[in-house]
Amino acid sequence: MYVKVSLTIVLVAALCSTSSYATNKDKSLPPGLQKKVDSGESLPPGWQKKLHKGEILDYRVYRQGSVVVPVNHEGIITIKVEGKVIRLMEATREIVDILK
């Protein structure tokens, strides 16, 4: 009985720690912005302030962008989203640099 309870506690703790790591790593848009993007509207002017090097660009924002420079040998792609030029790792959408 003690073994089952201990095993259950360990499994629950492991599941909780993995899910919180995934949430911190893959930041998404706030619900209001997600709704706008999903309905095809453009993003508001202040959304760029939320972008920082090392963060993961939300897939919805990535999808709205147009390719400026195709993927290079390092796996970096440059896209333009509503006047903002962003260099990121294509595979993970991790922001490498914000140019404009």
pTM for this entry: 0.57
Task: Compute the distance between CA of residue 92 and CA of residue 27 in angstroms, rounded to an integer.
Answer: 12
At 33-76, the pLDDT tens digits run 777 777 777 766 666 667 888 999 988 889 889 999 999 999 99
Written as one letter, the residue type at 74 is E
Q: Give the pLDDT confidence score for residue 9 in this predicted structure.
A: 56
> Do residues 56 and 44 make contact, with C-beta atoms less than 8 angstroms apart?
no
Q: Give the pLDDT confidence score for residue 2 in this predicted structure.
A: 55
Q: Give the pLDDT confidence score for residue 72 in this predicted structure.
A: 94
Across the range 79-97, mean pLDDT stands at: 92
Q: Give the pLDDT confidence score for residue 13 in this predicted structure.
A: 53
DSSP state of 40: T
Q: Please state the domain extents for the chain.
A: 2-98
At 13-29, the pLDDT tens digits run 554 443 332 233 445 66
Strands 66-69 and 76-81: antiparallel
Task: Compute the distance between CA of residue 96 and CA of residue 100 in angstroms, rounded to an integer.
Answer: 13
Q: Give the pLDDT confidence score for residue 24 in this predicted structure.
A: 35
Q: Give the pLDDT confidence score for residue 64 in this predicted structure.
A: 87
Q: What Cα–Cα distance (Å) separates residue 31 from each residue in 27, 28, 81?
A: 12, 9, 19
Sign of the alpha-carbon torsion through 97, 63, 29, 74: negative
